[in-house]
Structure 1
Amino acid sequence: MKDILQNAWHARGWLAWLLYPLSLAYGLAVLLRRALYRHHIFSSERFGVPVVVVGNVVAGGAGKTPLVIALVKHLQAQQIPVGVVSRGYGRQGNDCLEVTPGASPSRTGDEPALIKRATSAPVFVARSRTEAVRVLLAAHPATAVVVCDDGLQHYALQRDIEIAVFDDRGVGNGWLLPAGPLREAWPDRLRFDPSLVLHTGKKPAFDGFASTRQLNTHAYSASGEAVLLAGLRARPVAALAGIANPDAFFDMLREIGLTLQTTASLPDHHDFSDQDLEGLEGCVVLCTEKDAVKLFALPQASRHEVLAVPLVFSPETAFFAAFDARLAPLISPLPSGHGHQTA
């Protein structure tokens, strides 16, 4: 059903038209919900530090987590203490907790675990992002900036900077769910909440900042051993991907000269099990860093050569300049302690 919907989202075919009345109802509900927050009928919360929300208006992944990691590293390079909050999509439980290096991805979610591993920044997950921010600031009071992984539509958390991420799908057929892929109207949203727009694909569908994505030259084992990817060209290779666009990962592997004997395109946030490795004996198994968070923990993984291939994600310099220009006036007058208010 998901594949059928995604095909309909690329064009205004018969299925999209059939679903269009539902999209109209959905759009009215979105507008009503936004108005209830704007007129303070629904409460929202602002904290004593700048909050940066990275998200998308299109259903499915578009490259938010690599951008969160890039932003955190950018802030760390400037000696700005930064923390991250996330809902932790797909995790077991709704409690608020800090992501630690040894925490199970089933409890934290795969993306928060990857962010923690890649940045070592404080990362907190909770069903409510406002609760996650509150607990983060209490545990790490020196935090000067909070980056929220996803949550453009989580209006209960007030934000200072929004970054909308798009891949090569753009806005699809331009219609709202379920007739199209949009969670809210675009570019109408820009009239209410001006956002920085970053494209993570090779062919941006409209104006915005660009970025590049390429594979690292080395893959890494669960023990941290580095393996040169070019050295795998003569070996049988299998590739697994439980991300939003598995084919993009497979294509990048082929572009560096690897011959993939088999590929497995799995749903985003796939809950890997030993069965996913069955029949892959004798192959080098390549996966994304996000998938490795779960794959490395499987009992069967030790019986295979499973390697994680890091993605080198680089927003253009102009994007960071625009981000810094928006953040600078928010950081300079920061008070010594954190507080928050409801509005």
Structure 2
Amino acid sequence: MPAVVTFFENLYYRPKWYHWAAAFLLLPFSILYASIMWIRRRIVRRRRFKLPIIGVGNLLVGGSGKTPMTITLAKRYEKAAVVLRGYGRKSRGLVVVSRWGRIESDVETSGDEAMLLARSLPDATIIVAEDRIEAIEKAHAMGATIVFLDDAFSKVGIEKFEILLYPAKTPNILPLPSGPFREFPSEKKFADLVLVEGRDFERIVTCEGCDEPMLLVTAIANPQRLEPFLPKGRIKGRLIRPDHAWFDTNEIERAMQIAGVKKILTTQKDAVKLETSGFDMALLTLRLRIEPTVFDAIERYVERFDTQRPAAAPT
């Protein structure tokens, strides 16, 4: 992984004393950026829709469990659609990745997260689009009765029930680029639910097929968060790429030869890009344990929304 990416990941999630010099130099840009976001959140007019919108997001860059949270919540509803940007995809515009469980796209067109959602939600519709409003309208036209927005907290122009995922520890509370926060941390007050990891939800990771020496292959944000879940003594090498990056099979083969292994270990998000590669793969599977009060709060919103029947969105 590029050294600059590693440096900023360490600055954001594992800062040492020498990282703070760079954070201090970048601080004027951080204050300017966060101030613009502060103003934007207060002046942008929010658009309302005729069906409930559940936003799942975070304030920090990098992985926070948004996708597994979205999967867990969307499974509870019939005719649910999930809308997301589709970062890393090799396409543009609106793409229907799956239509009520029937997958209509390949992973290069959809992106890794969207394909993982499509595989994990066999009864839902998954749509990727730069324009989330266009995608919500498409989902509604297709018959969706509820829409989940993945990575949604920054989408301030959409009226929705805001679920904000928050880490248990935040060693660096500065905004980008000095720290990992997309906005001032105080902006979490705009969320309807703030779910703290370790209190409101917990990650449960299982290592499937981890029965021999392996090469870890992954392209996720902050990959060091995998360390507590890796089988001890089985990881003989690592091939780490930036978040959403695509893999070169020749590079993986060379890394396997150097490590002296015949098997790779990867995540569910990475596996959708590697499933046709022919490699023998072990898998880190992730599910969430969520406090029942979270489901109750969402259900109350959905029931209240149905009662209020909001007017049509302005044109």
Question: What TM-score results when the alignment is normalised by the length of structure 2?
Answer: 0.86
Q: Write the deviation string for residues 150-173 of structure 1: whole angstroms up to 9, x where unpaired.
A: 1211222221x1111123453x42
Give the aligned partner of residue 89 of structure 2.
Answer: 91
Answer yes or no: is the 8 Å Cα contact 2:188–2:194 preserved in 1.
no
Q: Say if 2:8 is the partner of 1:5.
A: yes
Give the aligned partner of residue 45 of structure 1.
Answer: 47
- Distance 1:276-1:322 versus aligned 2 partners, 3 A rule: farther
Q: Say if 2:29 is the partner of 1:31.
A: no
- For 1:289 and 1:188, locate their aligned partners in 2 and report how far apart those are by CA, in whole Å: 31
- For 2:251 and 2:205, locate their aligned partners in 1 and report how far apart those are by CA, in whole Å: 23
- For 2:205 and 2:111, locate their aligned partners in 1 and report how far apart those are by CA, in whole Å: 23
Give the aligned partner of residue 325 of structure 1.
Answer: 300
- For 1:89 and 1:134, locate their aligned partners in 2 and report how far apart those are by CA, in whole Å: 20
1:295 to 256, 274, 286: 274
Unaligned runs of 5+ in 1: 203-208, 220-226
**Structure 1 counterpart of 2:141, one-letter code:** A
- The Cα shift of 1:60 comes to 1.8
Q: Say if 2:180 is the partner of 1:181.
A: yes
- For 1:31 and 1:108, locate their aligned partners in 2 and report how far apart those are by CA, in whole Å: 31
2:200 to 210, 213, 229: 210
Question: What TM-score results when the alignment is normalised by the length of structure 1?
Answer: 0.79
Q: Write the deviation string for residues 288-309 of structure 1: whole angstroms up to 9, x where unpaired.
A: 1110110113xxx22x312333
- For 2:287 and 2:62, locate their aligned partners in 1 and report how far apart those are by CA, in whole Å: 21
- For 1:105 and 1:167, locate their aligned partners in 2 and report how far apart those are by CA, in whole Å: 29
Give the aligned partner of residue 282 of structure 2.
Answer: 307
Greater displacement, 260-269 / 86-95? 260-269
Give the aligned partner of residue 57 of structure 2.
Answer: 55
1:270 match: secondary structure: coil
Answer yes or no: is the 8 Å Cα contact 1:241–1:249 preserved in 2.
no
Identity %: 28
2:56 match: secondary structure: strand
Answer yes or no: is the 8 Å Cα contact 1:62–1:244 preserved in 2.
no
- For 2:196 and 2:296, locate their aligned partners in 1 and report how far apart those are by CA, in whole Å: 16
Answer yes or no: is the 8 Å Cα contact 2:96–2:104 preserved in 1.
no
- The Cα shift of 1:258 comes to 5.8
Answer yes or no: is the 8 Å Cα contact 2:200–2:290 preserved in 1.
yes
2:243 match: secondary structure: coil
Give the aligned partner of residue 70 of structure 1.
Answer: 72
Q: Say if 2:214 is the partner of 1:237.
A: yes
Give the aligned partner of residue 248 of structure 1.
Answer: 225
Q: Write the deviation string for residues 126-181 of structure 1: whole angstroms up to 9, x where unpaired.
A: 10110111111112x2x22110001211222221x1111123453x4222111221
CA RMSD of aligned residues (A): 2.4
- For 1:329 and 1:95, locate their aligned partners in 2 and report how far apart those are by CA, in whole Å: 33
Q: How many residues align?
A: 299
Answer yes or no: is the 8 Å Cα contact 2:23–2:178 preserved in 1.
yes
Greater displacement, 124-133 / 324-333? 324-333
- Distance 1:133-1:188 versus aligned 2 partners, 3 A rule: closer
Give the aligned partner of residue 15 of structure 1.
Answer: 22
Unaligned runs of 5+ in 2: none
- For 1:271 and 1:92, locate their aligned partners in 2 and report how far apart those are by CA, in whole Å: 10
